[in-house]
Chain A
Amino acid sequence: MGSLLGLGDPLYAHGVHWVELLIVVIKVLVAFGALLVSVMLMIWFERKVISDMQARVGPNRAGPWGLLQTLADGIKLFFKEDLLPERADRTVFKLAPYLSILPAFLSFAIVPVGGLVTVFGHRFELQVADPPVGILFLLAMSSISVYGVMLAGWSSGSKYPLLGSVRASAQMISYEAALGLTVTMVVLLAGSLSTRAIVEHQSHTFFGSWYLIHTGILPFFLFMIAITAELTRPPFDLVEAEQELVGGFNTEYSSIRFALFFMAEFMNTITMSAIVVTLFLGGPDGPTPHVFILSWVVPVLWFLGKTLVFLFIYVWLRAALPRLRYDQLMDLGWKVLIPLSLGWVLVLAAFLVGRWWGVGVMLALFAAAGLLFRSVMVGSERDEAIEAPGAPEPGATPELGAPGMVR
């Protein structure tokens, strides 16, 4: 069973004694610290890159190149008055930041950061945890974080947060379906849910064995779009569309509660970039010299480098793309991403069975696309037909399509 679902961390091969427990605690502390520092740097990085792209200076006062700006902002938030809005549901209002930050912390646990390391005879993986359910754990955590957003908006007892949070939950669950389907393709190829196993399967040759190529490139883009929407980052940031919703679900939050939401958002961005690298770009895979310490430091550097590319892409998307309209967002999610990813799963599975199966399923897919297109047309016509008698003018009995009709 262990060999089928995942390799498992060799650390626990001989049971868990105090030494193993100590290693676990150290691993967790290092990951925790690294995550917090990287969130701090990510916020600075985003502000600095955006300001460079907009020909501004950006943060440059606190620390060298403004590096400590985030820290200064964080400290400032500690010193702010912590308000509970009068109409808020007090318990849920206080609970929501926890529901947002804890999944953000936990989902990083399954990311393989490097290879295997031996310290004082104890061999372990450079990864906080390697549970057999692996990638399902990530999906579970991203589902739970919807609750954080939803409850935050609902419990605020205010208009903008509520609208922001219902938008957010509808958006996140819509794209979660596409996200889940694209991850299925990787699982299909790897035959395992464990992130470690997924990375190991991609580590034969540099680039050539990555799932980016093996799944046919398209799933990678589907996944990128799905997680950008899942993170509610631009151009899918309708959740906190400042021009319409003030601040979205966290409008009523102040002080440290706001800081936790903000941190959760950036932590999720970092984790999801790492997940893209894990699923499609081979994680820590790359040319590695087998010289004592370099053999485990270099994979970590590969991992960091690849993750940084995606972090930059997120910032770039924010600077370059305008926000989508809500109906465009939902149409993209439901009528394009979900059918396309479902179809690609089937094509991939068919090609794994045999070439002719693959071609056959692909042809069936074109027929299905035609059907879907026709359904969308029928759906939009039907929508108009239902709306038409909705608001009849008093004393007027208009016929459809008569001159003077406006849409």
Chain B
Amino acid sequence: MSDYLPIVVLFVLGVLFAGLSFLASGLLAPRKRPTAAKLAPYECGIVPDREPPQRFPVRFYLVAMIFIIFDIEIVFLYPWAVVFRSDLHTFGLIEVLVFAAAVFFSFLYLVSNGALNWGPAKHLRPAMPERTTESTIARVGPGQGPGAGQAA
């Protein structure tokens, strides 16, 4: 365990550094004079009208859940990688190929379900059903545009 001793010392030093920085800042900084404007959430000068727990897209949760699949895969790969060259050879390779295939096919399922699509939402809907390309072009054609009456 003595290998971890320097890490513990570094941890203590890091905490001390951050703590002393706060202490020094507390001593050196001007007295706090909070005003309502200073304490309000930053909103480019507009008074915020929403509650603090903001909404954000559910896809972020989805990514976090999918990440767990890969994280667990990686957790299994590390011990395998350490002993692969010395002990496992062909047996280890076949094992990991089967394992990777299982992960890969579930990944394919996710991708083909669109679980990882982040693109701008593609709304495939008519903007104005009565207006087609032909009608729009016809309306701004010569003699029919907004300036047509004035020119005549």
B93 close to A353 (CB less than 8 A): yes
A129 and B4 contact, Cβ closer than 8 Å, known pairs A173-B64, A255-B29, A407-B123? yes
B117 close to A371 (CB less than 8 A): no
B18-44: CB near A (< 8 Å → 1, else 0) gives 100110111011101110001111111
Q: With a CB–CB cut-off of 8 A, which chain A residues contact B89?
A: 353
A153-B139 Cα distance, complex, nearest whole Å: 51
Cross-interface CB contact of B7 among A85, A128, A371, cutoff 8 Å:
A128
A106 within 8 A of B: yes
Q: With a CB–CB cut-off of 8 A, which chain A residues contact B86?
A: 4, 191
A20-B123 Cα distance, complex, nearest whole Å: 67
B13 close to A28 (CB less than 8 A): yes
- How far, in Å, is A398 (CB) from chain B's closest CB? 5
A169 within 8 A of B: yes
A80 and B29 contact, Cβ closer than 8 Å, known pairs A109-B10, A160-B42, A383-B122? yes
A102 and B85 contact, Cβ closer than 8 Å, known pairs A109-B6, A339-B104, A404-B131? no
- How far, in Å, is A101 (CB) from chain B's closest CB? 6
A170 and B63 contact, Cβ closer than 8 Å, known pairs A9-B3, A86-B40, A379-B116? yes
B97 within 8 A of A: yes
A102-B134 Cα distance, complex, nearest whole Å: 64
Q: With a CB–CB cut-off of 8 A, which chain B residues contact A98?
A: 15, 18
B78 close to A193 (CB less than 8 A): yes
The bracket for how many chain B residues form the interface is 35 or more
Q: With a CB–CB cut-off of 8 A, which chain B residues contact A21?
A: 5
For B21, B40, B71, B103, the residue with the greatest tally of chain A CB atoms inside 10 Å of its CB is B21
A132-B28 Cα distance, complex, nearest whole Å: 43
Q: Which of A78-111 contact B (CB under 8 A)?
A: 78-87, 97-98, 101-102, 105-106, 109
The bracket for how many chain A residues form the interface is 35 or more
B147 within 8 A of A: no
A242 within 8 A of B: no
B108 close to A371 (CB less than 8 A): yes
For B26, B38, B74, the residue with the greatest tally of chain A CB atoms inside 10 Å of its CB is B74
Residue of B nearest to A100 (CB): B18
B133 close to A404 (CB less than 8 A): yes
B82 within 8 A of A: yes
- How far, in Å, is B14 (CB) from chain A's closest CB? 4
B82 close to A404 (CB less than 8 A): no
B38 close to A326 (CB less than 8 A): no
A379-B132 Cα distance, complex, nearest whole Å: 30
A383-B109 Cα distance, complex, nearest whole Å: 14
Q: With a CB–CB cut-off of 8 A, which chain A residues contact B71?
A: 173, 176-177, 180
A191 close to B50 (CB less than 8 A): no
B3 close to A382 (CB less than 8 A): no
A393 close to B63 (CB less than 8 A): no
A299 within 8 A of B: no
A158 and B52 contact, Cβ closer than 8 Å, known pairs A81-B30, A379-B111? yes
A387 close to B108 (CB less than 8 A): no
Cross-interface CB contact of A159 among B43, B114, B117, B125, cutoff 8 Å:
B43
Interface residues of chain A, those whose CB is within 8 Å of chain B, are 4-5, 8-9, 12, 15-16, 20-21, 24-25, 27-29, 31-32, 77-87, 97-98, 101-102, 105-106, 109, 128-132, 136-137, 156-160, 162-163, 166-167, 169-170, 173-174, 176-177, 180-181, 184-185, 187-189, 191-193, 246, 251-252, 255-256, 259-260, 326-327, 330-331, 334-335, 338-339, 342, 345-346, 349-350, 352-354, 357, 361, 368, 371-372, 374-376, 378-380, 382-384, 386-388, 390-393, 396, 398, 400, 402-407
Closest 8 CB pairs of A and B: A158-B41, A327-B118, A157-B52, A256-B25, A86-B39, A375-B112, A105-B14, A177-B70
